[in-house]
Every structure is written in structure tokens, then in C-alpha cells.
Amino acid sequence: MASLIPNILPKDPHNQITIAGVTIVLLIGVIFAINSYASKEDEENPSALTSFLRFFYASFLKPHTGDGTGNGQQDALESFYKAQAGVYDATRGRLLRGREDMLGLVAAQLVQKAGSDSKQDTKRIWVDIGGGTGWNIEAMSEFVSVPEFFSSVYLVDFSPSLCEVARKRFTRLGWKNVKVICQDARTFRLEDHEPGAAGAVGLTRSSSMGYFDSERPSVGGADLITLSYSLSMIPDFYSVIDSLTSLLAPTGIIGVVDFYVQSIVDLSCRNYTGGVINRHVNWFGRLFWRAWFDVDRVGLEAGRRDYLEYRFGTVLSADSRNYLLGYIPYYIWLGCPKKPSSVGTPNYPHEIVERLDAAVTESPYLSPINHTNALSRTVERSTPPEIRSKAFDAAIVNLSSNLPLPSFFYQNNHWRIHYDDQLKKHTQFKNEYIYAFTWEDSRVDQRLLKLGPEDIVLAITSAGDNILSYALNSPARIHAVDLNPNQNHLLELKVASYAALPYADFWKLFGIGKHPNFRSLLISRLSPYLSSRAFQYWLSNTHVFTATRSKGLYETGGSRHAIRVVRLLSTALGFKSEVKKLLEAKTLNEQREIWTKKIRPFMMSRLLAYLVVSQEKFLWAALGVPHNQLAMLEADHIASESLPGKSPSASPLEHSEKELKSSKGRAVWEYMVQTLDPVVETTLIGEDNPYYLVCLQGCYSQRCHPDYLKPKSHQKLSRKGAFDGLRIHTDEINEVVSRLTPGTLTVAVVMDSMDWFDPGSEAAALQIEKLNRVLKLGGRVMLRSAALTPWYISTFESLGFQPKRVGARIAGACIDRVNMYASCWLLTKIENLEPSTPKTESRNGSVELERLEI
């Protein structure tokens, strides 16, 4: 039969075209037949087949030349929508993805603003541009009560057919505050429709137009403007976007969801887009989707989104794909007026830049009026006269170029500091954090540091657990620093969760590590407290908390490899049940017996240490142990095995690479023994050691968890203003301390980062110099090391510090509940170093600033 098929179909191209034409005519005939026989009830509630056929005909078969009335764009819109107005909503559910997300995001922003507004003004105006059938406005009721939350809602659309459907919708709903306006969006003016707006909403124009000067209301205006898949259908989008700047209130929000195609190359020079995760569309996708949508007069040129981002400040931005319908790219974007007004003084656009810069650099904040005179009197050190952050530098470049500020300046909470996410030093981490929880014992940190309200702390972020522990002591400022942006995304999520979620949800996220409703919480509760880049990251990684087959948060990140190895071994070698019994042990004797007889023979196998744990790739990927740190513990092992009467150096500087590597397997095994045996001997894991509990169990328990997960901690850190002193830096420690005012820090917690330097390197000495410069006299550096006496301690001594070892893992001692490091040190600054000569350098060819470089 198959061999006969080619003979059935005509080979003549003309006949093939004829058959195709007849098929199309028949299909059109079927559609018209169904429409002509549809009853009035079917018109109100069409069947799925009728809806699909109307949509298919209007979108792919019906010519969009208009009806000859000569009304231009309105004529074209009616030509497209009139035949499908009644089935529009039924056919757009799967095509127009992201609408609910956009509505949830703007609703969350408005609710957050309402909660923080002391005036409690309930008069809110929403303008939905290209609102069509009114689906968006009805869908908003899932997030807020539209009749009660908004005083007025205006649906503006140019299609009479869609507007008629919208009027019937709101008549049915009985919403009196919704007005349907069939009008060109370019000509819509709020004062033409809003009672009393003519006097309140006035346009101001400066005689000398400068940055942030635009034709927009000095007071009043719309609190919310939305465009849901309408911007791509507006031919003259430039004028419409321009008109929105005059329509939006100074503190208003604009939300857009639409199709797009764009190349990452176009964005490489922009710092104000709010991040580029998933934004790139490949060459074929750009070509195909532009051609496909052009048939229906839907414009996907990149200029639409570009101009939107240029005319407004970006609050949140995200990119996704409609996987059900051919991987169609779409974006969700939230913006605000270019001129930031969150500082409460909208008449001074530069104040927010100055205020945030002062907080980042620990410089005194000076009012704009007396800025120049007061600066010389207030800053004690005359060299350099001003220390500026990288965020300030970026803001200056944008201000001078009439561009929006970087998106970080438009956040509701200014915890996160601007950074360039396209630099190789950040992209090297490939959108993954290494640590899902912090490996330093916060109880020991608290005992040693005794932080108080006068302290200014700089600490490595890691997973953020210790940062939150420090915050419980309410220091004046905490500078959290990490080169990996994703570690800071995790800290941001935890801080946002304090601000937005009750303890039950907070516990599910970070106690259990899973929450089935995480995506919904991210959209409707957490988003107002996240920077755009952190929001993008978690929107792209919701599976961390929602995947049913995963253990959740604590089996993610680079450290998951080590956790999975232990779990696989316990299953393969049959001691999985013994691990459970170990965690349930009520006494140390019971725990020791289970460990010694059932688990240790497998976990502490020399073969396992040699084949797996001692491999450098595993040590780095799974445990975050770099080459230099491995060399330090190898050198310690050589020293420990020395014969009586001999005392070889424990510094890797005194040994060749061959000598160090010759003992690698034994050194790693011995290090494991010195780490794990004392932990089992001295701490009851299931009751009081959350660090090993989470590794073995995959989550914390109500009786055993870090300090920041306690209900009392949530009660304290969820209070308004609890994190006003937090600044999250995505950079190297050197870069951050170079831009802090000298003599301001009281504590620097650098964890084990000094182990990462090449032994004897100038880079280590340079960082120690910088730490000396930025610390007050009596300020302290706290660090941990894989060596009992790290080689760089002598460098600290020579550069103005007095060292004290406050913990040492000697003769089976357990220095803390983690016991992962061989020593812990406090280094107190006892003298100031002589400052180096400052030099002037050019930034971006337009700004000359004095910089102090040591």
C-alpha cells in the first residue's frame, strides 16, 4: 500500500496548489458553517472546537486589510479581532503565558507600598493599556480586591469589539469602578476621565531639560499601568511609551508582559536592564518568531523592550519561554519612573545615589545643600577627599549619559549593591552556588566576637547563615561579601523571607528545604524584597524547593556532591539504617557505639579516601577545598609524621610539590579522622549539631537547627528595619575594603579564604594591608584555617596585627561543632600602617576621582 501513495498525489505543482487552495476554502467553509449555525447561547459560551476554529481563521486565514473605513490602526485591529472577540479569552490561555505572574508581581509591589506608606492613601488608579476583553482586570482579583483596592480602573483599548466584551464582563461582575475607554492609547489622558484630576495632575516642563526631566505629573497620576501582550501590537510604540511617562505617578509601577526576541550581544553594554538570565534568543529563534508573528502584525523587534527600559527604571525583569507552544520567548518587566523617589525627596534625584553610597563606603552622609562645605569639615582623612563605591561610579556614568540608574537603585530595599553580572569573575560560577548552608559554627563566632550595636562587620557571605546570626546581635552595619553572585542570591532570599513570610513558611523553606508553593510565594510575597537579579535567579530555579524527587535546598549547590556520595555509600554498603539510628541516639555512648561499629569502617576507609576524597577535583567541586589549602594540610601531615628530634616545617613553602603529593592520600585520610572522630565523641549530632545533621538527613529538625531558624530569631529579624544596616557586595574582599572609609570596620570575618592564596604571595600581604587600613585600632580579623599554624600568620604580625589562636584541633580536640578546620584565629589590629601615595585614575573617560590604593 505504501508504494501506491506517491501515485495518488499529483506531481504537477499547479495541481498541488489547486488542492491546497480547495482545502483552505473547505476549511473556511466549515468555520463559517459552524459560526452561522451557532445559537445565541453558543455565542456567549462557545465550544472548544468553535473557539479554536475562529482563532485559527482570524489568525492565519483571514486577511487583515481592514474593512475599508480608513481608520488606520483601529481598522486593522477590528479586522483581526472582530471575528474572534467572543472567543478571545478561551483561546489565549495557553498562548499568552506570564499574565498571571505579571499581575501578581505588580499587586505585590502595590501591597508592599501600601504597607509602608504612613499616609495610608487608599485612592489608587490603575490604567490597563490594550486591556482588550478585561481578562487582566478580573484576573487581578486573585491577588487584591479590585473594587476595594482601586478607586478607579481604566481599560484603554482601540478595538470596539473587544471593548464591548469587556463592558459585558464588568456589568456581569458589578464592578462600578472599572471604566472601559475605546481610545488610542497615545491620546489617553487621566485628567479627561478622573474627577478632580485636572487640577491635581499637571505637567511640568523645565526650561532646560536635563536628566530625569520629563513631561509627567508633578503630583497624582496612575499608581499602576499595565500592558499585557499589547505593546507588541502597537505600531507607534515610541509615542505610546512616551505618553506613559506622563501618565505614571512619581511613585507608580508599570508592568509589562509580552513576546520578544533579542540577542545577548545587544545588552552587553547596558547595566540598567536588571539582569540577563534566559534573555538570549538564538539566531534561528529570532528569525523564525519575528517572521511568524509578523503575519498577525505583532512586532517583535528588540526596540520595543529597549525603549521601555530606557524610558523607565527597571524594578524587576524576567525572561521565559512558552514550552507548550513551540518555545515562544516572552518577558515580564516591572518599572518605575526614571527618577527614584523612594528616599522621600523626589525633588532631588541625586540624593538616593549619595545616601546609598555613604552607607556602602561607611562615609558620613551629607545633605545635598551643604554637601561641598560640610565634606571638607566632616571627613577626617584628607586623602582621598572622597571614597566612592562601584555603584556610585556606575550611577555617575548613567547620569551623564541620560540613562536610567542601574536597577539596584530602584529596589524597595537597598540591601544588594550594584555589580556587573557579565564579568567573567562572576559568570565562572555558572549560575550555581557552592554552599547551601554555612560550615562555620555560629555559636563559637558569637562567643569569640561578642558583637554589639557599635560594631561594623565585614564577613564572607557563604550561604548567609552566619550573616543572619550576626544580625541577631544588631550591629550598626554588616557588609556581606562574596564573589559568587548566587551565594548572595541565597542570602537575599533568606532576608526577603524574614520580611515577607510567617515562620511556618520560613521553616519549610530553610528548615525542611522544600515548599510546594515556593513559586507562588516568590511572585506574590517575596518579589518586592528582592533585587531583579536575585528574583530572576530564583524564578529560574524554583525546582530547588518544589521538585518532588529532590531532597530540597540542602541537596543543591556544589557541596551536594559530597552529600550524595555519603548517601550512596550508605545505601550501597547497607548502613543507611545505622545512619538513621545515629541521628536518633539520645546519649553520646549510644552514638559512639553506632559510629565505631557500624559506620566508621565504611566512612573512614583508606580506599575511599584515596580513590575519592583525596582527589583534587572532588575536593574543590564537592567541599570547596582549593589546591593551596590542600597543600597546607599535606604540609601539616608531613610535620606530624616527623621522627623524634626532627621538626620539618608545617609550611608548604618548605616542601616541594612532589613531597606534598607523596603524602596526599594519607594526609586526607588523617584529616578526615581528626575531623569526624572528635565530632562523634563530643557532640550529639541529632540534638545539637545541625551541621552534620543536615548533611546526613537532608534537612534540619525542630530540636536541632542553626540560630537563625529559631522562632525567636524570626520574630526579631522580621521586624521592620531589621536589615537596614545590611549591604550585600558581589565582589572580592580587596575590592570592597578598598572602597570603605579607613578606620571604620571593627570586625572582619574572612573564614578560610586566606588559605586560598599562593603561599608567600604578595596578594596575601596586600589583602592584610587593606584590612589594616580599613579596621579601627583594636579591630579584629577572625579566620579559620586547614593548618595548625598557617604560613600567613607571620605576615599579619609584620603588618600591625597581634595574633591569638583561639582554637586548635590537637590530640583529638574538637574546636567547634563543625571541626572542619585545624585552627581558629583572632588577629587584633595594634598599629596603623603608613598610607601609600594616592593616585588619580580615569573612569570611563568622563569622571576623574581620587582613589586610595595601598
Q: Which residue has the cell 499602576?
A: 224
The percent of residues above 90 in pLDDT, for the chain, comes to 51
Question: Nearest Cα to 500, choosing from 675, 755, 271, 723?
Answer: 723
Mean pLDDT of the chain: 80
Highest mean pLDDT among 273-277, 400-404, 521-525: 521-525
More confident residue, 36 or 743: 743
Residue 660's H or E segment, with its range, is: helix 657-662
pLDDT digit string, tens, across residues 488-531 = 999 999 999 999 999 999 999 999 999 999 999 999 999 999 99
Q: Collapsing DSSP states into helix, strand and coil, what is residue 392?
A: helix
Whether residue 552 has pLDDT greater than 60: yes
More confident residue, 545 or 640: 545
Q: Are 421 and 276 in contact (CB under 8 A)?
A: yes
- CATH fold of 99-193+214-337: Rossmann fold (3.40.50)
| Segment (H or E) for 248 | strand 248-259
Count of other CB atoms within 10 angstroms of residue 251: 15
For the stretch 722-749, pLDDT in tens is 999 999 999 999 999 999 999 999 999 9
Would the pLDDT of 72 be above 70? no
Q: From 121, 119, 128, 55, select the one nearest 86 (Cα to Cα).
A: 55
- Report the percent of the chain where pLDDT is more than 70: 73
pLDDT above 80 (res 43): no
Number of neighbours of residue 388 by Cβ within 10 angstroms:
21
CA 564/CA 574 separation, integer angstroms: 15
| Domain spans of the chain, in order of start | 2-92, 99-193+214-337, 351-410
- Per-residue model confidence as pLDDT tens digits over 438-459: 989 999 999 999 999 999 999 9
C-alpha cell at 102: 505579571
pTM: 0.84
Report the pLDDT value the prediction gives residue 188, as an integer from 0 to 100: 93
Measure the CA–CA gap between 320 and 539, rounded to whole angstroms: 9
> What average pLDDT score do residues 320-347 get?
78
Please determine, for residue 841, whether its predicted confidence score (pLDDT) is greater than 90. Answer: no
**Secondary structure letter of residue 704 according to DSSP:** B
The pLDDT-based confidence of 123 (bands split at 50, 70, 90) is confident
Stretch 343-372: mean pLDDT:
58
Confidence class of residue 665 from pLDDT cuts 50, 70 and 90? Answer: low
pLDDT at 293: 84
**196 pLDDT above the threshold of 70:** no
Q: Which of 97-101, 208-212, 382-386 has the highest mean pLDDT?
A: 97-101
Q: Please tell me whether the peptide bond between 349 and the residue prior to it is cis, using omega within 30 degrees of 0.
A: no
